[in-house]
Structure 1
Amino acid sequence: MTHQPSGAAPHPHRAGRLSARILSSPIGLAWVRGREMELMHRAMGFAALGFLTLVPLLVVVAAADPASGQGFARWLGQALGVSQASQDEVESLFGMPGTALQRTTAFGLAALTVFGLTFGSAVQTGYEKVWDLPTARWHTMWRHVVFLALLVFCLLVFVNTPIPSDPAIAAAAATLGDLTGTALFFWIAQRLLLGGRVRWQALLPGAVLTALALLGLRVFSQFVFSPLIASNAVTYGPFGTVLVLQSWLVGVGVVVYGGALVGRLVHEGRVRRRLERELLS
């Protein structure tokens, strides 16, 4: 009988079984499906279109309502989890909202509309890839308009919600309100953009996971993006803040698509366990 010497490479069958076990695990499945749908590529597209759409749109809305402009800047700073110094740099992006509406041309509004519809189309395509659905027909483009309007409406609700005076209560209420509102928004947005082709019950795990992951991204931003904004603002000026904001939007894109993807895996696992119980009963 021969013995495998110590330090030798593992048996190929054992390595194959280990690889198959890892790939069949929830983390492995999420990794494989994420690569299949080109998650990072779609997240970068989400960031580019989101920046071209959301920031100009929020500036225009802020021009119509200066109080909302301050609220948008505050909400964006809270979403980034930045310090007070970095918060001031973020607020400088909305520094003169009153002149934005006066200087906005018809061509600028038309370009903003096109980018907005393209942004909604990109999010819809990402969700379709998550659920392996065919591309929706062209006449469903009205859903992109509704999605964009719903997004602006939810942001207006967030920034105009009164904040309790007590700091502890305010932090708890803000966290609970953000989680609930974000989960509700992504639950409705998935159903809307997918054209009702996936049931509400199947979409709920993805919406909840997306809201939780965005909260985790906020915590991560406190340690990474907040100091970057402060340092880049000194080195590059306002352009440094834009670079950090763009990087944060890439993270948001990963969370939006990744949360929906993991939510589908959670739903499929629940359905599989239910079927196994029914077979055994």
Structure 2
Amino acid sequence: MTEPQRGEDGPGEERPGRWSRARSRVAGLAGTAKVLREEVPLVGRALRQIVRVNLLDSATRLAAQAFLSALPALLAVAVFAPAAIRDGVVSSMRDQLGITGEAQKTFQQMMSAEHTDVTQSFGAVGVVVTLLSATTLSRALQRVCERCWEIPKAGTRVAAWRWLVWLLVWLVFLVLQVPVRKGFGLGVWIGYPLLLVFATLLWWWTQHLLLGSRVRWYPLLPGAVLCGGGQVLLTVAALVYLPGAVSRSVAKFGPYGVVFTSLSWLIVLFTAMTLGIALGRVVSEESAAARLLGTPTEPGRWGRREG
């Protein structure tokens, strides 16, 4: 009887195949991750924070609320606004969601409708109802902030006015975003740094407002910087990627292609924002940053309203 050759399967002999090699690699990666968590505490805390926040689920909820309620509110307010504001809304939608070509023409026609026609078909009551329904985005974002900072849910009486105020400021920021990016006519060389400053301030104020002032200002700064930087990078990426993506999607799916691409991009945007807020807390609680920012380290530190 001939003995099995080397490298062949034989009785009582197992040859490490493709799956066993894959399992070995996975086990090696898991071991590396464990070592990183033990030797680099920041990595371990960041991973635990991402799991706690449920990153993709939170981002998808925010994107859906923005698409279904906040964007209609933006349009409802814009059609009653002066022409300059309507033009700002069209430019912002083009840059942020890649609405170009026929979709942009239809959008511009809708925005250029006579105010009397819009008032008769929609009405001031409709605008108010749309704005109130759009606060679902504010509420969803508040829950994300509370989850990131492990803070109990705020009462409705305390938070209700904050939802509407945040929504209105967010709408104003969207209208002004394109002029800011262009540096108010001075050029993008000053526009993008300005956009970074404005976006950082917006997300700094957003966290403080929606958390009900239960977290002091300085610990919120790292998350604001991460969100602001992420928003600027995604703005640049949108200008490069979205026009072509929307055109391909429209060619394949028709008018629904705009919906698919826009919603997918909103998910990417809110994934970056949720990640920024979540990792901002991790950074602010690092020992050196905590001393600099005055982040408290005792358990239950965010349980009560501060200031």
TM-score grouping bracket, smaller chain normalisation = 0.7 to 0.9
Aligned 8 A contact 2:60 2:270 in 1: yes
Offset at 1:88? Answer: 6.3
Aligned 8 A contact 1:60 1:101 in 2: no
CA distance in 1, matches of 2:241, 2:44: 27
Please list the CA deviations of residues 190-240 of structure 1 after superposition, one character each: whole Å capped at 9, or x if unmatched: 100001111111111111110111122234334543321011223333321
Aligned 8 A contact 1:187 1:207 in 2: yes
Please list the CA deviations of residues 132-155 of structure 1 after superposition, one character each: whole Å capped at 9, or x if unmatched: 111001212111111112212323
In structure 2, the partner of 1:86 is: 100
Aligned 8 A contact 2:249 2:257 in 1: yes
In structure 1, the partner of 2:64 is: 48
- For structure 1, which segment, 215-224 or 68-77, has the greater mean C-alpha deviation from structure 2 after superposition? 215-224
CA distance in 2, matches of 1:221, 1:246: 13
In structure 1, the partner of 2:284 is: 267
Residue identity matched to 1:144: W
- The DSSP-based 3-state class of the residue aligned with 1:197 is coil
CA distance in 1, matches of 2:119, 2:269: 28
In structure 1, the partner of 2:46 is: 30
Task: Return the match for 1:136 from 154, 158, 164.
Answer: 154
What TM-score do the two structures reach when normalised by structure 1? 0.80
Q: Is there any run of 5+ residues in structure 1 with no aligned partner, and where?
A: 1-5, 276-281
Instruction: Give the 3 Å change call, closer, same or farther, for CA 15–34 of structure 1 in structure 2.
Output: closer
CA distance in 2, matches of 1:219, 1:34: 25
Q: CA RMSD in A?
A: 3.3
Task: Return the match for 1:96 from 101, 105, 110.
Answer: 110
In structure 1, the partner of 2:304 is: none
- The DSSP-based 3-state class of the residue aligned with 1:195 is coil
Structure having the larger proportion of residues in helix? 1
Instruction: Give the 3 Å change call, closer, same or farther, for CA 47–159 of structure 1 in structure 2.
Output: same
In structure 2, the partner of 1:124 is: 142
CA distance in 2, matches of 1:88, 1:138: 42
Q: Does 1:158 align with 2:177?
A: yes
Q: Figure out how many residues of one structure are paired with residues of the other and give that number.
A: 266
Identity of aligned residues (%): 25
In structure 1, the partner of 2:166 is: 147
What TM-score do the two structures reach when normalised by structure 2? 0.74
In structure 2, the partner of 1:202 is: 219
Residue identity matched to 1:32: R
In structure 1, the partner of 2:256 is: 239
Aligned 8 A contact 2:145 2:277 in 1: yes
CA distance in 1, matches of 2:63, 2:176: 23
CA distance in 2, matches of 1:227, 1:104: 33
- For structure 1, which segment, 156-165 or 203-212, has the greater mean C-alpha deviation from structure 2 after superposition? 156-165
Instruction: Give the 3 Å change call, closer, same or farther, for CA 118–15 of structure 1 in structure 2.
Output: closer
Matches within 5 A, 1:151-230: 151-159=170-178, 163=182, 169-222=186-239, 224-230=241-247
The higher radius of gyration belongs to 2
Q: Does 1:63 align with 2:63?
A: no
